Amino acid sequence: MTDLLNKLLRINLDASSGYAYAAEKIENDNFRNFLKSYAERRKRYAEELKKEIVLQGVKAQSDTSLLGEVHQAFMKIRESVSIDHDTALLDECVRGEGEAITQYEKVLKTDRLSTELRQLITTQFDKIRAARSTMEELERVV
């Protein structure tokens, strides 16, 4: 179980880092504030998961994943060659959230979650899905 939680922890660390990068690079001030708030939110999710992992007596992951670093490098490349930087950054954020949603769905399918942990993960999952929907809307207005 802790391996699945550590995977979600890393996904949130990756997302926080990716959102922070996108917030630095995006040109639209409203989008920048939005992305900064999502970076902080995902950092908070990581802390919540880390607490649960430590409570189970296991060492929690503390760094981003290689896949997350590769995705952020791809964001940099795509942003640098794209004519519309803001759309490219938002598109990559949406893509990253899609991967997070897939991983959350896998964890939620397991029967090894306590009621409290299932509630925590479900709440995070629902907010991540809402964030992805919001970003898809933002992409349409850019």
**Fold annotation for 2-141:** Ferritin (1.20.1260)
Mean pLDDT of the chain: 85
Averaged pLDDT for residues 74-100: 71
pLDDT at 127: 97
Q: How confident is the model at residue 84 (pLDDT cuts 50, 70, 90)?
A: low
pLDDT at 74: 40
Residue among 138, 17, 40, 15 at smallest CA distance from 86: 138
At position 137, the amino acid (one-letter code) is E
Q: What is the pTM of this model?
A: 0.84
The ranges assigned to domains in the chain are 2-141
| pLDDT higher than 90, residue 20 | yes
Q: How confident is the model at residue 39 (pLDDT cuts 50, 70, 90)?
A: very high
| pLDDT higher than 90, residue 25 | no
pLDDT at 27: 87
Query: What's the 3-state SS for the chain?
Result: CHHHHHHHHHHHHHHHHHHHHHHHHCCCHHHHHHHHHHHHHHHHHHHHHHHHHHHCCCCCCCCCCHHHHHHHHHHHHHHHHCCCHHHHHHHHHHHHHHHHHHHHHHHHCCCCCCHHHHHHHHHHHHHHHHHHHHHHHHHHHC
